[in-house]
Structure 1
């Protein structure tokens, strides 16, 4: 994917980076996916002395790595990646032990044999305190085997300039339909995974297409999504992958409505720049730690996953980046923590039931269909290139 996310601390200095009204649970049960047979770690042993991490900016910080290093002797060596594509490429070199992958990278790594299934008995902090909605999702749980330890999540919301819209738009139609009153002042995310946003809109407004999961599109359904994206292209003001540029465009008045993240609204620092979750639902990003199948530092990797799953450390990562923490016990730890959780809907599963986590499109239909072949990530990438001409 093109640009992903930026940490709260680095956002102003660095640029990087659905469904119907029913539940958007991306449940992994009942879908058989062909993956390489890779053994999982059986028991903990001596720490190897280092841990090479591919991570989003803000996920690895001395505020919590120093204690981990002192406790384990595992020297943390982070490598910030700006996109999911970069993360996949780096992990496939075999030089990194663990990655903080979003769902649009996680399933690619699992199917490619680049990461290993996890022995959750060796990760005791991956327990009951982890948000229900971040468990057993198809992007990091395959054929009943967990490959990922949840870190945090967020929704791709509709951002709007309230001075102009005079209230929250009820529907995503203001960014998709040619009669939008904001034609020429609309922004959209510049990445193939944005095809899923078109699919979410079609699920609600064109049920005859039979789309049940926006990441499980057969050829006809993908063609319909691309047609909608090409229609949107005629009213788009700009596409964005640079978060700083997106904020600047909203604050400067060049953009009125478009897809965004809650943290970007905060960075805008303007009371008229607001976000909403429209009636159709939305896509979103759910991040997990995944361990390389080639790592020689497995014990350090497991220790890191366990340590960062504690409520205090997981909460620190969530606040540092700007997202809902996976470990919701953090929310009750202080008034500040509770305010953060409330702002990012960390404990609101009804909210996240309307959010479809990014999931790599693969030929196996993750909606459970077995009578058709679904389109792959490569097909989505090729199709995206046709959208903007």
Structure 2
């Protein structure tokens, strides 16, 4: 541990005191070497790397947006003339193609970041970097959806366009379904395809439906992220005995919360303090045991929180009751405490990100529908006539 008048770095502890004050102290034992403190810092980097990165969150949001849009368009149906006009102008002309393009770009960006971040953080010859190369190669080899999406993204990058045609059709049960079709020859000429990508493309029909390939791409990327996190957590589990040995040699006492930190003296009155907490040892002990049985993703809460079904029918149904309850709380807050209170609660949710915002918006739509039906049943008037009458129920 560095220890001079201007800087301290290494293992430290938050120590609760009887007075309620949380004392911060660095380890002063001469049993720990400078290499021990540096190893702890590297260990924390590996723990951080096991968690899903920003690039995967961006990919996930783009998939949820695309899949939700597909479902929304299918819900519109084919018989409503007004809805059909909305579909033609809004979705096909502007929003839909942009959503597909964003999903394709996010897919490739995420895969590139898996390799680049591992190499940058740990070096090109590290186990993390080698694992990243292996699992991304497996993605390309095993998922035709990714190979096609990768080529389409390259075509978008070089031509600025996607050679796609979008339409609605009915399935055997007369349900509306979205078809995103592409002309194989046009797609082939839009980008410089790899040998395997070109071979995959030529196995498709001359006019092929892209939607199943978009879904296959998401399945492959989700499995990639799962493998990446699982591999990294296995590496962490391997290091738990060494971590335990370092903490046993340290001045850590019962109740202490260990961290790796740095204090830099700015002047006589000011010090900058940065730190990263070491994981709970109970979690790490479970992780070490689970690594032997292959269940590391379930042994370390808070690291792997992804759901392959996010954004599809199963995922939306799973959170339906929760989003409705949150929406009811917002409406109740506005009714009891005033409109600003409900608006502020909604603002806080929106700021957390598109996924939460979309979910609560659906909940508010459900609440509005329920209230609208109640108004119709109690007044005998359509909700539309009530709104047209300046919200008057007289």
Answer yes or no: same fold by TM over 0.5: no
Determine which structure has more spread, i.e. the larger CA radius of gyration: 2
Higher relative contact order (CA 8 A, sep 6+): 1
TM-score by length of 2: 0.21
